[in-house]
Amino acid sequence: MNATLRPTGALKAYISGKDEIPIAAGRTVRETLTGLKIPPEVIALVVVNEELQSKDYLIQEGDLVRVLAVIGGG
The domain containing residue 50 runs over which residues? Answer: 3-69
Can you give the pTM of this predicted structure?
Answer: 0.92
| CATH classification of the domain holding 35 | 3.10.20.30
pLDDT of residue 70: 84
Residue 53 CA: distances (Å) to CA of 17, 33, 70: 24, 14, 16
- Indicate whether 74 belongs to any domain: no
Q: State yes or no: pLDDT of 2 exceeds 70.
A: yes
Of 1-5, 55-59, 69-73, minimum mean pLDDT range: 69-73
Q: State yes or no: pLDDT of 73 exceeds 60.
A: no
What burial class does residue 59 get, using C-beta atoms within 10 Å of its C-beta: 0-12 exposed, 13-18 middle, 19+ buried?
buried
Measure the CA–CA gap between 74 and 35, rounded to whole angstroms. 31
Q: What is the pLDDT of residues 15-63, one digit of tens each?
A: 999 999 999 999 999 999 999 999 999 999 999 999 999 999 999 999 9
- Indicate whether 56 belongs to any domain: yes
- Indicate whether 57 belongs to any domain: yes
